[in-house]
Structure 1
């Protein structure tokens, strides 16, 4: 059975559909979505509706991203953080103004049932952003750190590639898992346009919210599929640029 991991989407439904069609994966494939389905392009509500429908016919795991938390707080409690509004929140508010009360309740249920991390049978960790606790995400004192943390990615980007796992200075966090799959921080910031790998960490956020693509990675073969540059599919929008 194939297992694939899909990077940040940020309201880019056209690109997400294109990616799924291009991959054309067989029935039984497990799809692990790393979060940040919303906030960016104009179709955040439509992306969530699509994911709900997609999961009815496919084996899906949906992780919670920081943007899901922010949007959920707005939909449920009316919270509208000014920073969130400037980072894609306004586009989500416009998108959600078009849906019915029943659809909104269905989406709230979707957000409430997102998981903070997933560890598979081969000890591979899937998490939106990262973790700080040296015993793993299960032991974070503040559980929401796993969809906000950037230190894990920054650490592996800056690591000495010659350091051995046997060295006392080797990061303890990395020894906990066979592989770690994340999103949250676009790899385009460090010069990549495809999922990037440092140490045992794979980052599949290829900048869909900005000038990049949505990417999908087969966790076994490391085959990659990508959409077009998302902004080209929304020529009259600014996204989060």
Structure 2
């Protein structure tokens, strides 16, 4: 069986990735779409990138760019201090990468540079880390950084009155552009949830792995999903981004 599986924000939790791969019985026949934010939070950010580079050789993978991945790339290339990154999970990532040689860092830099801003499949399903702002769609976005920084797409979903019909002028125009939109970036733990949340045609698959939630892998066709243990249980000696 060929499945397409989407994976939420990992944030340095390699143990969780291995757990969901086992629980979902991931095989080489599956297409894997990673929504970004591979690093920052738990202690295995370099190990995560190594793992992703390895599975790229054996699986059909699509790797999207998250804001934390972009912050790491900027630091690796320019070594500029960024208090925002440092205080939001970057500290432990910086410490781990400081132990690596330039030779070991190079394939990671190359991997981060090649991340995609979004992916649109043949059925007009959009996969993107955060969202987009242009009402005509991702191809017309004026500010590409919005693909991995913006939150209004999810905020519009949360504030949508379920009584509003799709053809109503009050229905978010962005929603109607795509059959489904799969995002991460804003953890559903902010609204007290730990499972993927579907509102209208938006699916949020960030289930709070950076904090106290689990990591999630979701079959985009059946909507069946598998989760790791909560990350604090997998890394009891660490704080993550809590």
Using the size of structure 1 for normalisation, the TM-score is: 0.98
Q: Distance in 1 between matches of 2:87 and 2:43?
A: 14
Gaps of 5+ in 1: none
Q: Distance in 2 between matches of 1:138 and 1:69?
A: 20
Q: Following TM superposition, where does structure 1 have runs of at least 4 consecutive aligned residues deviating by more than 3 angstroms?
A: none
The residue aligned with 1:120 is: 121
- State the Cα distance separating 1:99 from its structure 2 match: 2.4
Q: Distance in 2 between matches of 1:89 and 1:26?
A: 32
Equivalent residue of 2:92, what SS? helix
- State the Cα distance separating 1:97 from its structure 2 match: 2.0
- State the Cα distance separating 1:74 from its structure 2 match: 0.4
Using the size of structure 2 for normalisation, the TM-score is: 0.98
1:123-157 CA-to-partner distances (Å, cap 9, x unmatched) read: 00000001111011221111111100100001101
Equivalent residue of 2:186, what SS? coil
Q: Distance in 1 between matches of 2:81 and 2:198?
A: 35
Q: Distance in 2 between matches of 1:168 and 1:72?
A: 41
Equivalent residue of 2:156, what SS? helix
- State the Cα distance separating 1:222 from its structure 2 match: 0.2
Equivalent residue of 1:126, what SS? strand
Equivalent residue of 1:225, what SS? strand
The residue aligned with 1:240 is: 241
The residue aligned with 1:218 is: 219
The residue aligned with 1:174 is: 175
The residue aligned with 1:8 is: 9
Gaps of 5+ in 2: none
The residue aligned with 1:160 is: 161
Q: What is the alpha-carbon root mean square deviation over aligned residues?
A: 0.9
Q: Distance in 2 between matches of 1:26 and 1:35?
A: 21
The residue aligned with 1:81 is: 82
